[in-house]
Structure 1
Amino acid sequence: MRPRYKPWAKDFIARHPEVIIPNAHEKRGMWHTSFAQPDLPLHIEIGSGKGKFIFEMAQRHPDVNFIGIERDENIIVSILQKIIQQPLDNLRLLQVDANDLLSIFAPNEVDRFYLNFSDPWPKNRHEKRRLTYRAFLDQYKTILKPSGELHMKTDNQGLFEYSLESFSRYGMIIKNISLDLHQSNFPDNVTTEYEEKFKAKGQRIYHCQTLFR
């Protein structure tokens, strides 16, 4: 479903550069300067949607700095409105496409990536668009610190199976895996908007945490 067009979104975003950081590539290697506590670990969510996950994570973990990436201005304004109503010193946003993360983040700059309910791109000809395709893994590995992690959640079994195979071929270590997250004992799970809908329907949520060698 395409998001509803919000003609006011562009101007609203432009008025809040302290939250949605403009000219992201100029911050490459210096993202710590965007936060009140620059020495904290940096966690990135790719595809933040309306922001339930990243906003709640920032609330629960004031000892971590967070950046939510969402390219659609009609969607990212929902997160912006949350932050304006309840400011969080440890949360910033980027309205960018995640295809070229290396132009935005420097090597060893990030501690963790989150991929929550990414587009599964089920057709074989679209494999290279999947966020767990090898070319994306190359970017994550470069940007992450040696101890950095990649966390993933999805309702799509096909994407999950593909991702596990992709991780394995890449030589990654699977730290934690759940084939039905809401029936597991995984602690402190923060849900997304999509996850709440799927949970209400009784759909299975797949989850894994991985490390790069």
Structure 2
Amino acid sequence: MARSKLAKFKEIAESDLVLEAGKPLFENIKGKWHESYFQNDYPIILEIGCGKGDYTIGMANLFPNKNFIGVDIKGSRIWKGSCLAQEQGLTNVAFLRNFIELLPEQFAPGEISEIWITFPDPRPRKGEEKKRLTSTRFLDIYESLLKPSSLIHFKTDDLALFEFTLDLLKMREAKNLRYTFDLYASDLQQNTLGIQTTYEKRFLAEGQTIKYLQYTR
């Protein structure tokens, strides 16, 4: 029988893999992720809008000497990712349940080494531009938390969102910007580590092309 949302919320409230409001560490983790959570000094990589944590889990398996944090506000999605991490015995994974715009409350400047933005809501309606996870205000937040010369990756199926993001990055004169409108026909495919999210698999099955870009802070 499928667990109800209330059951899932109860499980993540009891999980050491999930930080959310009400947990002591949630309020005091800023600048202390290495010492207070991971207990190592390995680089920290974020997956923004992680959903079920496909990239978080996938990268954690590929790189045991790095730490990975999936960030999302949807508790039922984070529940799935935290369950998978626990089942696989991963010790280099955490999930942060919070709004993306509040990241500066949980991370200090320079605490992050890399960021992945994977298939966010395209927010296509007029007037929703500021809510897009690749809008100016969000890019400013990401870049404020990253170490110098760190990579930011972005994957989407949505052409309008990709063009919006690409135009913005060109205006910002983003460094080392590389991009493709068809990832699987590009040599940039190797940069995405062979990981596909649940949404990505669905879009590919529907015959859509995947767009990808990367740049450095």
TM over 0.5: yes
Alignment pair present for 1:189 and 2:194: yes
Query: Residue 6 of structure 1 aligns with which residue?
Result: 5
Shift of 1:123: 1.6
Within a 5 Å distance, the mapping from 1:109-148 to structure 2 comes to 109-148=111-150
Asked whether the 8 Å contact 1:25–1:105 carries over to 2, the reply is: no
Which stretch has the larger CA shift, 170-179 or 97-106? Answer: 170-179
Within a 5 Å distance, the mapping from 1:48-197 to structure 2 comes to 48-185=50-187, 186-187=189-190, 188-197=193-202
Q: Distance in 2 between matches of 1:63 and 1:184?
A: 28
Q: Distance in 2 between matches of 1:170 and 1:25?
A: 33
Asked whether the 8 Å contact 1:67–1:91 carries over to 2, the reply is: yes
Task: State the one-letter code of the partner of 1:133.
Answer: S
CA-atom RMSD in angstroms: 1.5
Which stretch has the larger CA shift, 188-197 or 177-186? Answer: 177-186
Q: 1:184 to 1:19 in 2, by over 3 A?
A: same
Asked whether the 8 Å contact 1:5–1:74 carries over to 2, the reply is: no
TM-score under structure 1 length normalisation: 0.92
Q: Distance in 1 between matches of 2:130 and 2:27?
A: 23
Q: Distance in 2 between matches of 1:133 and 1:64?
A: 28
TM-score under structure 2 length normalisation: 0.90
Asked whether the 8 Å contact 1:154–1:205 carries over to 2, the reply is: yes
**SS of 1:145's equivalent?**
strand
Shift of 1:171: 2.4
Q: Distance in 1 between matches of 2:204 and 2:215?
A: 23
Gaps (5+ residues) in structure 1?
none
Q: Deviations over 1:23-74 (max 9, x none)?
A: 53410011112114x2111100011111222111110111211000121111
Task: State the one-letter code of the partner of 1:51.
Answer: G
State the identity %: 34
Within a 5 Å distance, the mapping from 1:12-23 to structure 2 comes to 12-16=11-15, 18-21=16-19, 22=23, 23=25
Query: Residue 38 of structure 2 aligns with which residue?
Result: 35
Shift of 1:148: 1.3
Task: State the one-letter code of the partner of 1:157.
Answer: L
Q: Distance in 1 between matches of 2:158 and 2:146?
A: 26
Q: Distance in 2 between matches of 1:117 and 1:93?
A: 18
Q: Distance in 1 between matches of 2:170 and 2:139?
A: 11
**SS of 1:149's equivalent?**
strand
Asked whether the 8 Å contact 1:120–1:156 carries over to 2, the reply is: yes
Aligned length: 207
Asked whether the 8 Å contact 2:180–2:211 carries over to 1, the reply is: yes
Task: State the one-letter code of the partner of 2:64.
Answer: P
Which stretch has the larger CA shift, 185-194 or 124-133? Answer: 185-194
Gaps (5+ residues) in structure 2?
none
